[in-house]
């Protein structure tokens, strides 16, 4: 990482997670597009189920819970998992599909600023990770489709007219998914 022209080495793995409260915005400012583009995924969590909320309540009252979020041996193995996921095979047709989806966001009529090349890279890597988590050594187009909205939508800027019509970036990505042909095995 570079701050004020000085490079600082970060520990590996380095992960940043951020939360956004859609209700209270006083004293905060929206992130610029260049910063939003550096987040791999944007997930909308919503409210927990009643059972999940009860479990959260029980855990938060427990005096025996660990103060460490993740054991260091797990952090070390995380780097190994990252390397393993990078080796998950991505066929050229699937790679082209990722690029086509990203480029299609730039040509959409309701988009002022489409997804960047970094979005293509992020979607590619996220699909590799999902395939690895699902126990596969190869990426399917369905992995890409599953991750397209959380990986691309936060990187788009919809035109004002589209936003006024209630046409959100996630809707635009879904339209792009419908319009871009999915690669089929053997073609």
* Domains of the chain from N-terminus onward: 89-187 (1.10.8.80)
pLDDT of residue 120: 94
> Are residues 141 and 182 in contact, defined by beta-carbon separation less than 8 angstroms?
yes
131 in Cβ contact with 141 (< 8 Å): no
- If you average pLDDT over every residue of the chain, what do you get? 84
pLDDT value of residue 98: 96
Element (H, E) at 113: strand 111-113
Residue 26 pLDDT > 70: no
Strand 111-113 vs strand 6-7: parallel, antiparallel, or unpaired? unpaired
Q: What is the pLDDT of residue 68?
A: 55
Structure confidence by residue, pLDDT tens digits, 86-120: 899 999 999 999 999 999 999 999 999 999 999 99
Distance CA 163, CA 122 (A): 25
């Amino acid at each position: 990482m570079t701050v004020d022209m000085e490079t600082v080495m970060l520990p590996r793995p380095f992960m940043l997670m951020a939360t956004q409260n859609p209700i209270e915005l006083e004293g905060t400012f929206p992130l610029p597009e260049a910063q939003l583009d550096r987040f791999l995924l944007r997930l909308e969590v919503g409210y927990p189920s009643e059972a999940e909320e009860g479990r959260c309540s029980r855990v938060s009252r427990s005096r025996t819970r660990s103060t460490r979020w993740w054991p260091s041996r797990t952090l070390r193995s995380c780097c190994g998992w990252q390397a393993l996921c990078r080796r998950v095979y991505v066929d050229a047709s699937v790679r082209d599909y990722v690029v086509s989806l990203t480029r299609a966001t730039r040509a959409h009529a309701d988009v002022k600023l489409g997804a960047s090349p970094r979005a293509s890279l992020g979607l590619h890597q996220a699909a590799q990770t999902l395939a690895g988590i699902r126990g596969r050594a190869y990426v399917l187009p369905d992995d890409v489709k599953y991750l397209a909205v959380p990986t691309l939508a936060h990187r788009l800027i919809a035109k004002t007219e589209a936003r006024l019509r209630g046409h959100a970036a996630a809707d635009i990505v879904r339209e792009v998914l419908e319009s871009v042909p999915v690669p089929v095995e053997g073609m």
